[in-house]
Structure 1
Amino acid sequence: MESNKKSCIQELHKHKAATPTMGGIAMNLSLILLTLLYYLVTGTFLWVHLLLILYGVMGFIDDYIKIKKLRDGVTRKEKLIGLTLISVVVVSLLLAEFPQQGQILFPFVHHALAVNGYLYGALMVFLIVMSSNSVNITDGLDGLALGVCSIVYGFIAVFAYRMNADDVLFGAVVMLGACLATLWFNKYPAKIFMGDTGSLMLGGSIAVFLIRLEMPVWIVLMLIVSIFEAVSVIIQLSSLRFFHKRVFKIAPFHHHLEKCGWRETVITSSFCMVTLGACILAYLGFGVVQ
């Protein structure tokens, strides 16, 4: 079943076989260097931002194994365990640095929900792993994941500016710049792929920034495209396992659309438009909360 899916994807994208990958290394390095520069200028060291590189390291291991053909990357179980452990470390530091965390804002709702203790930490870890995995799954077409994430980072920067969260504003602007710079080479036809080194870090950082703003629920809204991509994989695998039938021609959903005859550029632009609409809705909901 898994081998059939991979061969089908390889057939769809056989013309991309020679495209270099791991462009995400430059994105991770830009975050490291600019975080260090921020410390030199302001005297404030953004530990949480630096720890986001751990998601990139996880992705690098996956990419390296694939490139060296040692095996077909890390397994789903290994990736899940790795992302969970990294997220536990990140959330622990986030709670230590910002002890007021525990308030969860909801779009269009004036009052926040107070969630304390281990329940809050466990929920945040789940959301980060979900976000990181979802963006990773979305990264299957030229410019798709980067286009979606660029829009999301832009709106996170606006939220951070309005909430006077300079650390998140800095991180969102840095990542927006990194996404746009990489997108220049990753747009169709892609000259380089960012690989898991980039996509895992993008999804993880988006979740961490929104959690820092006490807006974790916004992850589901702003990354609706990526989350649906992940859900399409779960639906497909569940249907094949229990009913021995396919719901989609191939999962994730963007590959299903390809099999239906959609052009790659049309899929990418459509998903970006949906993301933009979701982010505008999130902004309207944010306005009510404020």
Structure 2
Amino acid sequence: MSVVLDFLLGMVITALLMPITIKKLKQSKEQAVIRKLGPDHQQKAGTPSLGGAVFVLVALVVAFCLPGTYANGTAFTTILTLAVAIGSFALIGAVDDVLKLARHADDGFAFKPKLAAQSLSAVVVMLLLWSLHVPAILNLPVFGVVYLGYFYVIFIWFWLVGWSNATNLTDGLDGLLGGLAVIAYGANTVLAWQAGSWSMVSFNFVLIGTLAGFLIFNLPKAKIFMGDTGSLALGAGLAVESILLHAVISLLIIGLVFVIETLSVIIQTVSYHFFQKRVFPMSPIHHSFEKFGWSEWQIDIAFWSVGLILAVIALLIF
């Protein structure tokens, strides 16, 4: 019953704050700039961004106000680790979003400074995991437990930066990332319940609640976008949860849609750079479906359905 209250608390607070945020952003004239190189989304011009700042902030504040967070040392350190990962990557995204708004452009952080900031956040999370004595292991099918030793440093960096950028690339259509994130965090919640990590279960119910409150205003046609603030934070949170649960392989299945979105960008970039040919009509791959004539609702439902099937498969396997 308490997790239902966690969910409702996150959803209701976010749903109440979102109209206020939308109104304030519209009054300030600080609204998202639509990418000129992307598909024709000019009808979305003037839609406020920074919705991710609301649901991330609500999730973190509510999580630290829950009594269960302080039930024991393990519960607190789990929430603290998630908060540092999600909060630090949200901050990077917020700087990116604010720069876009200030410049009235579709790009904020340059690639190198953004990567440097993400790397610094990954190092902070890494040091926190080390201080909490999280073992440097991967639990792999067939191979069993694999000790990474010093390679754990490289893995943590790759995992956090990779997943934060994967969810960031997926955030290109109204409601798409929000719905997929609800499914992915829902699957992680089941894994956390099986592992007895009740603090993570509680946190995830709060976060899923805030995402539900946000989606009320983000489904097609969106009244507000989450921006990089939300998309980077969601990927970092998924990555850290998989590390804490020793379930990194399961995340590759649960989050396979994010992986495919990222691969489509890499393949398209390499193909065009070296051969001047495009493999896809447009990347990330969700934009290709727009080129095929699919509506945003059709793409959302198709991608959510695939994400849900993958999550069920992962849970059945692990």
Structure 1 position 19 matched with structure 2 position 47: yes
Contact 2:138 2:148 (8 Å CA) reproduced: no
Q: Distance in 2 between matches of 1:79 and 1:199?
A: 14
Q: Pick closer, same or farther for the CA change 1:264–1:41 going to 2, 3 Å.
A: closer
Q: Report the identity percentage.
A: 35
Report if the CA contact (8 A) 1:131-1:219 is conserved.
no
SS at match of 1:117: coil
Letter in 1 for 2:261: E
1:54 matched residue in structure 2: 88
> What is the letter of the counterpart of residue 122 of structure 2?
S
**Aligned-residue RMSD, C-alpha:** 1.9
Please, which runs of 5 or more residues in structure 1 have no aligned partner?
A: none
Is the Cα contact below 8 Å between 2:181 and 2:234 reproduced in 1?
Answer: yes
* Structure 2 spans left out of the alignment, 5+ residues: 1-33
**Map of 2:20 onto structure 1:** none
**Are residues 1:87 and 2:119 paired?**
no
Q: Give the corresponding residue for 1:263.
A: 295
Give 1:262's aligned amino acid. W
Partner of 1:285: 317
The CA distance in 2 between the partners of 1:255 and 1:272, in whole Å, is 15
Contact 2:265 2:284 in 1 (8 A): yes
Q: How far off its partner does 1:117 sit?
A: 2.5
Structure 1 pair 19–273 and aligned structure 2 pair: CA distance change class (3 A)? same
Match of 2:102 among 44, 68, 90: 68
Query: TM-score w.r.t. structure 1 length?
Result: 0.90
Which residue in 1 is equivalent to 2:266?
234
Aligned counterparts, 1:188-267, within 5 A: 188-267=220-299
Supply the distance in 2 between the matched residues of 1:110 and 1:157 (Cα, whole angstroms).
Answer: 25
Distance of 1:273 and 1:258 partners within structure 2: 17
Report the Cα offset of residue 81 of structure 1: 1.8
Shift in CA distance, 53/264, structure 1 to aligned 2, threshold 3 Å: same
Match of 2:149 in 1: 117
CA 1:285/1:244 → structure 2, altered by over 3 Å: closer, same or farther?
Answer: same
AA partner of residue 259 (structure 1):
K
Offset at residue 111 of structure 1 (A) = 6.2
The Cα of 1:40 is off from its aligned counterpart by: 8.3
